[in-house]
Amino acid sequence: MSMTMRRTVLRSTVVAAATVLAAAISTLPAQALDAKWCKDVHIRFFVGGAEGDAFGTIVYNGAKQAEADLGPKVDYIFSQWDIEKMVQQLREAVAVKPNGIAMMGHPGDASIMPLAEQAHKDGIKMMYQNVPVPKVVEAFGGGYVGAQQEQQGRALGAEAFKLGRLKAGDKAIMIGPFENESRGARERGTVAALKEAGVEVIQLSSPPSGEWASDPNLAIPVITAALLNNPDVKAVGYPGGQMLGNVSTYMQAAGRKAGEIFNFGFDTSPQIVE
C-alpha cells in the first residue's frame, strides 16, 4: 500500500441497519423480544449504490445481517447513487405499500416530501439514512441513521489540514456533489473548513447521476486534467470510499508519485483497508 493511501483520513459511521429495520414496527411487545420478532414485516431497503459498490456493499451486508437476526421480508433496492432513480424507486416502493421503507436521503427534502406524505397517509413507517431530511421528518415523522453532513465535512477539512501538513496559501482540490443541497453539505463543509484555514480550494463537481461512485474510473480524465492544470496542488479530497479507493489509479494517470499529494476523503472500502 502506498504512502498516499496510508495517509487517508476519516472513516464515516456505517448505516446502523438493525435500527432502520426496527423502525418498521410502531409498537413492541411488553415481553422481551424473541428471535425473528420482525418476521411478519415487509420492508423495502434502499442500498444506495449498485450491486458490488464499495460503500453500498457495507450498507447491504449490515441490512442482510439485520434481516437474518430479525426475520422480516426485505426487498433490496439498488440505485447506482442516481438521485432521480432513487425518487422513482421510492414512488414505486410507496405504491407497493410495505410496512416500512428505509430510504436514502440523497434526493433531499423537496423531492422526498410528497412521497413521504403519501407514505404517511398509507401508514408506511419511514426511516432515512446517510443524508438527513429534517423537513420531511418534521412534517411526516420517521427517523434518521447517519452523520450530520456539514459537521462531518468540517471535521474532515480540519483533520486534512492538520494531517496533510497544509498551510495558508496551499492549494487543494475537493470533489463532490456541490449542487445537491442536502448531500453536498458534507463536501461544502470540508471546503469551508479548508478556506477558513487559508487554503485555496478548487471544487470539482461530481455528476448528479452518481456515475463516478458507480465506476470511479470515469473520473480519471477530470481529475487528471485538474492536476495537470494545477501542478502545485498539495491535497485532493474525495466524496466517498469508491473514489478514495481508486486514488492510486488517479495519481498514476496524472504522473504523480506516492506521497507527493495528500489524498483524503470520506468512508472506507476494501481497497483503502488493504
Q: What is the pLDDT of residues 213-269, one digit of tens each?
A: 889 999 999 999 999 999 999 999 999 988 999 999 999 999 999 999 999 999 877
- Inter-residue contact 55 to 97 (CB < 8 Å): no
Examine the pLDDT at 194 and tell me if it is beyond 80. Answer: yes
Q: Does 206 lie in the same domain as 100?
A: no
Band the pLDDT of 7: cuts 50, 70, 90: very low
Average pLDDT of the residues of the chain: 88
Which of residues 54 and 100 earns the better pLDDT score?
A: 100
pLDDT of residue 55: 86
Domain boundary among 145, 163, 182: 145
pLDDT of residue 267: 84
Cβ-based burial of 127 (10 A; exposed 0-12, middle 13-18, buried ≥19): buried
pLDDT of residue 73: 97
Q: Does 140 lie in the same domain as 156?
A: no
pLDDT of residue 33: 54
Band the pLDDT of 26: cuts 50, 70, 90: very low
Q: Does 85 lie in the same domain as 140?
A: yes
In a 3-state reduction of DSSP, which class is residue 74?
A: strand
Q: Does 192 lie in the same domain as 245?
A: yes
What is the arithmetic mean of pLDDT over 78-90?
96
As a whole number of angstroms, the distance between CA 266 and CA 274 comes to 16
Q: Does 159 lie in the same domain as 266?
A: yes
* Count of domains observed in the chain: 2
CATH assignment of the domain containing 233:
3.40.50.2300
pLDDT of residue 99: 98
Examine the pLDDT at 13 and tell me if it is beyond 70. Answer: no
Examine the pLDDT at 210 and tell me if it is beyond 80. Answer: yes
> Which cell is 217 given?
474510473
Q: Does 167 lie in the same domain as 72?
A: no
- Inter-residue contact 259 to 2 (CB < 8 Å): yes
Q: Does 245 lie in the same domain as 131?
A: no
Domain boundary among 112, 145, 178: 145
Q: Does 63 lie in the same domain as 174?
A: no
What is the arithmetic mean of pLDDT over 151-176?
97
Give, in order, the Cα–Cα distances in Å from 198 to each of 172, 187, 239, 260, 262. 11, 17, 21, 20, 17
pLDDT of residue 14: 33
Range of the domain at 46: 17-145
Q: Does 52 lie in the same domain as 122?
A: yes
Which of residues 52 and 34 earns the better pLDDT score?
A: 52
Q: Does 53 lie in the same domain as 30?
A: yes
Q: Does 233 lie in the same domain as 140?
A: no
Q: Does 137 lie in the same domain as 185?
A: no
pTM, to two decimals: 0.79
Domain boundary among 145, 175, 201: 145
Cβ-based burial of 204 (10 A; exposed 0-12, middle 13-18, buried ≥19): buried
Band the pLDDT of 2: cuts 50, 70, 90: very low
What is the arithmetic mean of pLDDT over 14-24?
43
